[in-house]
Structure 1
Amino acid sequence: MPHNNLRILVVDNEYLIALDAECILRDAINCDVTITARSACSEKLRAERFDIVLLDIGDTTDGLVKEIEAALAAGSHLIFSATNDDFANGVPGFPDIRVLLKPYGEEALTSAIAGCVTLA
């Protein structure tokens, strides 16, 4: 499923997890992937345009409102990644944003991205 012009931002404080997501996405769908820490997310979204943002929320969205609003304001599709099983069916306050529970595999990640691409 090649999407040469698709730009994805992976936001995760766990560098190796972000790097793994980057490798999966580049190999599976041939897209442009940038990785960054949560602390640099808002700045990265102001500087560049991304079609999809995969944002790690960990156990809670507390303290991430600025990043969430920046991604949505930039017109990016947003996908949450989380370690909290309570978010398996969605995150309170953000019912329309898909959640990938960690650890996620290649199929789950590429399926979530493909879902965003079909929405575009």
Structure 2
Amino acid sequence: MDLEQLCRDHGAADVTIARELAEIDEQALPSRFDAAIVDLMLGAVSTLDFAAGLRNEGVPFVFASGYSDPDELRSSFPDIRLLTKPYSGEDLIVAIAAACGRVAPA
């Protein structure tokens, strides 16, 4: 699935794809991102601390990953949706819309 195109098709004006956490300036999170789709691992690095930073800054997000430990996520992120791969584009759009407090486009 072309995640960038999927996001643009549903109204995202700017999409940033990061393959490593080092590519993201965490100081600029609230001003740079309206929402995020977070894989649990980037490279061989856990993104849980990054996700906690998103939550602390009020940036809505969902987890979308092939790696999962649902028990750990439920205890640390009880209100954050986890989409496990393979997931559909529609499921992703519905989840991110819900995280943003919106209804997915019809």
Q: When the two structures are superposed, what TM-score results if normalisation uses the length of structure 1?
A: 0.63
Aligned twin of 2:4: 22
- For the 8 Å contact 1:55–1:78, the answer to whether it is kept is yes
Q: Aligned residue pairs: how many?
A: 95
Alpha-carbon offset, residue 84 of structure 1: 3.7
Higher strand share: 1
Query: Does 1:93 find its partner at 2:76?
Result: yes
Quote the RMSD (CA, aligned, Å). 2.6
The 3 A distance-change label for structure 1 pair 34 and 80 is same
- For the 8 Å contact 1:79–1:112, the answer to whether it is kept is yes
2:52 partner letter: E
Query: Does 1:57 find its partner at 2:40?
Result: yes
Q: When the two structures are superposed, what TM-score results if normalisation uses the length of structure 2?
A: 0.70
Aligned twin of 1:34: 16
Structure 1: state its 5+ residue gaps. Answer: 1-16
Give % identity: 33
Distance (whole Å) between structure 2 residues aligned to residue 68 and residue 108 of structure 1: 20
Once the two structures are superposed, what CA deviation does each residue of 1:14-45 show, in whole Å capped at 9, x if it has no partner?
A: xxx6xx11111111x111321112323652x3
Distance (whole Å) between structure 2 residues aligned to residue 65 and residue 84 of structure 1: 12
